[in-house]
Amino acid sequence: MRIEEDLKLDFKDVLFRPKRSTLGSRANVELLREYRYRHSGRTSTSVPIVAANMDTVGTFEMSAALARHHLHTALHKHYAVEDYVRFFSDANREAHRLAFYSLGILEPDLEKFRAVRRATGEAIEFVCIDVANGYTETFIDFVRRFRDEFPTLTIMAGNVVTADVTEALILAGADIVKVGIGPGSVCTTRKMTGVGYPQLSAIIECADAAHGLGGHICGDGGCTVPGDVAKAFGGGADFVMLGGMLAAHDESGGEIVERDGRTYRRFYGMSSDVAMKKYAGGVAKYRASEGKEVLLPARGPVENTVQDILGGLRSTCTYVGARKLKDLSKCTTFVRVTQQINEVYGRAD
Ligand code: 5GP
């Protein structure tokens, strides 16, 4: 047994230190980022925030709404082949250009992807190869074989939280490594397994490893307010994936529930009992559920939430003197704190 004594940080442990700057208005802050990907050789221009590939977040409707602001959506993997084909064949939609097709590493996942790809030609640019535990040889081998078969797709793969496997995944063919084990709002992995890594430190360390190899990372999970999204970018994330912050909107999917005259939407983890019953006929005997279900007050159109997140991010940039999102991590000094928010009148939201 060994204990690592180095301090590891979460979003709640830091704040941005404000800096003098010559920036005028926050309206002038550029949030679009242009990336060139190590393996696919493709480039993209977008606001690099990604809706999570959960069936109560990453829907076609979400993708249409977010694309208006040049944000990405990782589509959940439970649509039928015909539905993906229709979505990716629609040349009029910006949404399909920014959408990630998500898949797991089982043979049926691969077959389904091949079928969609055959029917849609070059329409799919981004894929997200997603497993709960990115530390298995099977996963890394899958990424390698997938890269061989599809040399021009931009591949995001995860999840991991350490530099060693980030490097291994990039060398195996991933363009973007997805980072986060256990920080998610409806994730119970830490409770059930005791495994995890503080998310801000995971982002900082994995970004450093990826950037050294010309790769990118996506911080996935644990953002609860716009300030957390800014901290993820400040720590070096190239992309930030959001589940809970985009859940419970008109576009999120998720069953509507009326209780005591109020409207709620169901939101649940993709490894929760609910999701496994819905898609896999129940939780297999050898495994435990690692996600939970919550009822969230319905939040209306996602447009307002997007404005809040982008507004917060622009404001962070002006406080630290970054003219563009690209400069945010260079301009970032985090201060460690013991308190974040004054909660004397309850949670400020
Ligand atoms: P959030 O933004 O809600 O904090 O986190 C979203 C992320 O949580 C997703 O992108 C995914 O990585 C993770 N996640 C989603 N469902 C589950 C689940 O059932 N179990 C675990 N361990 N993680 C989940």
Residue nearest ligand 1's atom 8 by CA:
184
Q: Give 54 Cα–ligand 1 centroid separation in angstroms.
A: 8
- The residues, any chain, with a CB within 8 Å of residue 49's CB and separated by 6 or more, are 66, 71, 72, 229, 239, 240, 241, 242, 309
Pocket lined around ligand 1, Cβ cut-off 6 Å: 52, 54, 132, 159, 180, 184-187, 189, 220-223, 241-245, 269-272, 290-291
Q: In this model, does residue 127 exceed pLDDT 70?
A: yes
Q: What is the mean pLDDT of the chain?
A: 95
Tell me the pTM: 0.97
53 cis-preceded (ω within 30 degrees of 0): no
Q: How many CB atoms lie within 10 A of CB 349?
A: 6
Residue nearest ligand 1's atom 10 by CA:
52
Please state, in angstroms and rounded to a whole number, the distance separating the CA atoms of residues 126 and 152. Answer: 10
- From the list 236, 252, 218, the residue with the least C-alpha distance to 332 is 236
Read off the pLDDT of residues 4-30 as tens digits, 9 standing for 90 and up. 999 999 999 999 999 988 877 777 899
Predicted confidence band of residue 347 (pLDDT cuts 50, 70, 90): low
Contact predicate 227/12, CB 8 Å: no
Residue nearest ligand 1's atom 13 by CA:
184
> Which residues participate in catalysis according to the annotation?
187
How far, in whole angstroms, is CA 305 from its chain's centroid?
Answer: 16
Q: Give 92 Cα–ligand 1 centroid separation in angstroms.
A: 31
pLDDT at 348: 54
Alpha carbon separation from 67 to 73, 74, 98, 125, 312 (Å, rounded):
8, 12, 7, 15, 19
* SS3 (DSSP) at 220: strand
Atom of ligand 1 nearest to the CA of 74: 10
Please state, in angstroms and rounded to a whole number, the distance separating the CA atoms of residues 301 and 61. Answer: 11
